[in-house]
A and B are shown apart, each in its own frame.
Chain A
């Protein structure tokens, strides 16, 4: 099995998903489960930290597409942070930066949620 891991940390009202390894057609389902669990727990402020992600394919990109409307309908968002250049170029190629906020640092993404809430 391709090495992929997605673990969740809580930072106030924001959930940070740390993704690591290879996110592909085989492992994307693991990330889907994490999103499903967060949504079922009404945790809709989500930051995905990509600093340890080695690889992403369209199956992984599709996971973010699948949940964005539901998360936003609950008043939250999915924001991206700490994206390595090789990963960012793929998001950029497909125009994802028009749909998602991407921050160079996780703290800024978390602060954005706090700013919006106040």
Chain B
């Protein structure tokens, strides 16, 4: 097992920055020892969360900042997103009934569906005007 580590990245609130975020998470996931599929899935969950913050939390204000911190704790890969945009607790979002969602050709809500499906735990807090969203993915053997 790889040694515990921490890493942090701050980006502008702009979809142009998503590739940088993905590279950052992908490298950390490899270092943690995730297999390709788990690595892909945590990268996708973080990308979707960042996209939501950029588009909805910050209303596409590209001058705002978004901080991504990664910490490994035992078998858990913990990604914490901090932003100062609008409050949004995605745990309260009712997940779509996918067959009905697809039948209605709805494009929205897919990101939250993916986040909730691809990570093991989601935590959220609003502290001093900042959103703190935590996505946790565990090693397969410990799930």
Contacts and interface: CB of A to CB of B under 8 A. Distances in A.
Interface of A: 1-3, 22, 24-26, 55, 57-59, 61-62, 65-66, 68-69, 85-86, 89-90, 93-96, 98-99
Contact of A93 (B36, B51, B55, B114): B114
Contacts, number: 77
A57 B111 contact: yes
Contact of B40 (A25, A26, A61, A86): A86
Interface of B: 15-16, 18-19, 22, 36-37, 40, 43-44, 47-48, 51, 54-55, 98-99, 102, 105-107, 110-111, 113-114, 117-118
B102 A99 contact: yes
| Most central of A57, A59, A65, A90 by chain B CB within 10 Å | A57
Contacts of A66: 105, 107
A24 B19 contact: yes
A38 B8 CA distance: 43
A24 B49 CA distance: 12
Q: Is the interface of A mostly helix, strand, loop or mixed?
A: helix
Nearest to B51: A25
B22 A65 contact: no
